[in-house]
Amino acid sequence: DVKVTQSSRYLVKRTGEKVFLECVQDMDHENMFWYRQDPGLGLRLIYFSYDVKMKEKGDIPEGYSVSREKKERFSLILESASTNQTSMYLCASSLTSYRDRDAEAFFGQGTRLTVV
Amino acid sequence: GESVGLHLPTLSVQEGDNSIINCAYSNSASDYFIWYKQESGKGPQFIIDIRSNMDKRQGQRVTVLLNKTVKHLSLQIAATQPGDSAVYFCAETRGAGNMLTFGGGTRLMVKP
């Protein structure tokens, strides 16, 4: 089974701190994604990466950066955490393929981040 | 901008009834659609998918219908069970990177 692992389930950080959220996948997927999930807003794409060292902005990249130094690992960085970044963060990975189900994204369990 | 959205935020059904969850999308270039189910405390999980060259696809107790004319997607769940209670998201994927765009989600509540 595909496994997408996020390093923490719960995090509490202070305003202004630099925060790292780590995600690792074990299926050699090219694509990795970071979403945030807020009530009533669904899943919004922050950044995605389609290859090592490659990244593309999603819908809400402001206040975030990402790093993909290795294919299996995709990190989300909050340079200076703010209270409006309190949210559930979900990492996902997928293959680049147009065959049925191969484009399916597999999700991690999520990291609930609280910024105080 | 382009978006994928859902009509109803909450759907309440009786156990054993059929459920229909709807989704509208606005990007006619989208070529692949997925329904995800998210249970409390878990990440979204794949339910069923459909390509833009199809109108209907059936799985076990679930059916996805795609109407490209009106850019509408629906998920039908037959004989809804308490274990079906969750939030359901439709998502579209397009482009070489298979970037997924999600709708806002519908909460399905199954009454015993």
Q: Which CATH architecture has domain A4-115?
A: Sandwich (2.60)
Cα separation, B13 vs B82, whole angstroms: 10
Contacts of A113 (CB under 8 A, 6+ apart): A11, A12, A13, A19, A21, A81, A85, A86, A87, A88, A89
Tell me how far the alpha carbon of residue A75 is from its chain's centroid: 7
A17-42 confidence digits (pLDDT tens): 999 999 999 989 888 999 999 877 78
Least reliable range by pLDDT among A107-116, B2-11, B85-94: B2-11
Which chain A residues contact residue B91 at CB under 8 A? 43, 105
pLDDT for B42-57, tens place per residue?
A: 899 999 999 888 999 9
pLDDT of residue B94: 66
Please give the CATH architecture assigned to the domain spanning B1-31+42-56+66-95.
Answer: Sandwich (2.60)
* B38 within 8 A of B32, measured Cβ to Cβ: no
| CB nearest to B89's CB, from A42, A103, A106 | A42
Q: Taking the domains of chain A in order of start, what are their residue ranges?
A: 4-115
CA distance readout (Å), B46 to B30, B43, B88: 18, 10, 10
Strand B45-51 and strand A4-6: pairing? unpaired
Domain ranges of chain B: 1-31+42-56+66-95
What band does B93 get if pLDDT is binned at 50, 70 and 90?
confident
Residue-wise pLDDT tens digits, B3-39 = 454 444 789 999 999 999 999 887 888 888 999 999 9
Tell me whether B83 touches chain A (CB under 8 Å).
no
